[in-house]
Structure 1
Amino acid sequence: MSEKIYFNTSSKFSFKRSLVNMSTRLHHRLAPRHAENTARKLLLTPVRTKPKNAVPAGMVKGKVESKEGTLITYSLGSGPVWVLTHGWSGTASQYFPLMEHIASRGYTALAYDHPGHGESGGVYGHIPAFVGGLEAILDSVDDVAGLVGHSMGTASAIECHHQKLVDKPLLLIAPVLDYLDNLFGSVARSGYSMRLFHAVVEEVQESYRYPIQSIDPYSKLNLRRSPTIIVHDEADKFTKFSVSQRAAQEMENVSLVATQGQGHGRVMKCEQVLASFDKLIDKS
């Protein structure tokens, strides 16, 4: 259900959306605790999607323990490590084609399922959990060469302050650089009670001591000095191409590769992504 909320891009009037708004507001008014428990399950539970691509030969499956539960990892190749972090309701399997390319260039490609995603443990998904999971993955490896992120995985990667990511190149695919606007806008368009949504947000930020207003991938990307390449489809329905375009215009170390007809998901294994990875390692 959460996928229908976060990936809803329609701004047209909808009777169903109006009904959702009325029913969730009434639920919260009449039974606030039950409504908040229901909202937590609905808004923070990602869809555990099935693998998207065939497992490459030589893939090594492993485990990393984190505060959010056991994370399942997928490693291919040898040499310095490129970490790959997927987005909301995604899986590491979306990266398998890119991982084969990374391994062929003399690196180790290390992807993993976020907490509450794929085969990893945990139930809920949100930025604090994504950041915590990424930190556990980074703690588990020695020589980090760079990071590839997709969608919400880009926001959590930029938010992560782990020492092993300092000055490392980034390949950001369909990034969510305007995270808060994207999140609140998606929930508002769904018709879901914003008061109820704020109650869930408040609980998460208090539990993790992670103020949601501090999440600002765009500004934090601007502070990075390492080379960053963004690959973004011009017609992406879920994350704004215009924001990536503005970042490339305003930030000295950020460049943009625009694609057409790749959408939000297919873009992860397009030729422009492979070529952008090659360009980053040449710069390094």
Structure 2
Amino acid sequence: MSEKIYFNTSGKFSLKRTLVNVTTRLHHTVAPSHAKKTARKLLLTPARTEAKNSQPQGLVCGEVESKEGTLKTYALGAGPVWVLTHGWSGTASQFYPLMEHIASKGFTALAYDHPAHGGSDGVYGHIPAFVNGLEAVLDSVTEQPVVGVIGHSMGTASALECRHAKIQNVPMLLIAPVLDYLDNLFGSVARSGYSMKLFEAIVSELQEQYHYPLQSIDPLQKLRQREAQTYIVHDQKDRFTKHEVSQQAANEMEKVTLVTTQGQGHGRVMKCQQVMESFDKLI
């Protein structure tokens, strides 16, 4: 969804929000087909952001075919594979510093741009597309075993939702995870003022297209079912995903360890020292 909507955390009264609500409800009533087309463009189209970090020496760029089109991949290092999955409106480049660290430890770091992100094909982004992309990348790994997964933000939700056999029993490193995905999603849209009836119409179409019931998406529950070790690195004052949900997971789940950071926010945390140290503990 639009970054301005997805990352809207304000609960204060806003005249703009009220106007958005009135106009989108009216649009859906008067011209429902056009309203849904407009809503898909606004709510399901991520921002194509530029590279966040300089390209590491030795990075190997490739392509993988998926149900969502051609995905761009980026590999660094040699040895068993750690797959890295970024978040909404992100790119694989956000992982470059971490990928260099992974490669230095004798592993291959394999990142990719999700559908409709970075250099990959696609127009719309959502959890079913993210899962399809991850499955295609996992299918492409044939020469070395996949020994772990690292996700950031919405990428953590897709990693936990993915049922691919290669990652069912591997450790995970979840950075600023969105474990309460549905509450986060619907709460963000509601706070934007956008017509919930119109949003639910878009969701219904996605469910039918992908045969993927939205209510089945529950990253927290999927994490609870995992037996492999998981480390979560989450900033205490992250404005976009809830640290308290990560704390809940660590408190309730024996295999989950929470590392809390200060002053790293939602994005900078991806290359902080605590992330590097948590990876080292998982290997």
The match for 2:108 is 108
Determine helix, strand or coil for the equivalent of 1:16.
helix
**Hey, what's the Cα distance between the residues in 1 that align with 2:168 and 2:184?**
26
Counterpart of 2:88 in structure 1 is 88
How far does residue 151 in structure 1 lie from its aligned partner after superposition?
Answer: 0.2
Deviation, structure 1 residue 125: 0.2
Alpha-carbon displacement from aligned partner over 1:12-57 (angstroms, at most 9, x marks no partner): 0000000100000000010000000000111000000000000000
Equivalent residue in structure 2 for 1:224, among 205, 226, 229: 226
For residue 33 of structure 1, what is the aligned residue in structure 2? Answer: 33
Mapped partners of 1:56, 1:173: distance in 2: 21
Structure 1 SS opposite 2:173: strand
Partner of 1:263: 265
Aligned to 1:212: 214
Distance in 1 (alpha carbons) for counterparts of 2:12 and 2:168: 43
CA offset at residue 78 of structure 1?
Answer: 0.1
Is 1:16 the equivalent of 2:22?
no
**CA distance in structure 2 between the aligned counterparts of 1:96 and 1:205, rounded to whole angstroms:** 34
- 2:23 and 2:123 map into 1 onto residues whose CA distance is 25
Q: What's the offset of the Cα at 1:65?
A: 0.3
Q: Distance in 2 between matches of 1:34 and 1:120?
A: 27
Cα distance in 2 between the residues matched to 1:116 and 1:194: 24
1:128 paired residue number: 128
Q: Distance in 2 between matches of 1:28 and 1:107?
A: 51
SS of equivalent to 1:230 = strand
Tell me the SS of whatever aligns to 2:39. helix
Counterpart residue number, 1:185: 187
RMSD between aligned residues? 0.6
For residue 166 of structure 1, report the CA deviation from its aligned partner: 1.4
Amino acid at match of 2:275: V
Deviation at 1:98, TM superposition (A): 0.2
Q: 2:82 is paired with a residue of what secondary structure? A: strand
* Partner in structure 1 of residue 247 of structure 2: 245
Q: Separation in 2 of the partners of 1:52 and 1:104?
A: 21
Select the residue among 149, 156, 159 that pairs with 2:158: 156
- CA distance, structure 2, for counterparts of residue 101 and residue 224 of structure 1: 26
Distance in 2, matches of 1:2 and 1:64, equals 26
Could you tell me which runs of 5 or more consecutive residues in structure 1 were left unpaired when the two chains were aligned: none
Q: Distance in 1 between matches of 2:30 and 2:122?
A: 30
CA–CA separation in structure 2 for the residues paired with 1:19 and 1:5: 15
> What residue ranges of structure 2 are gaps of 5+ in the alignment?
none
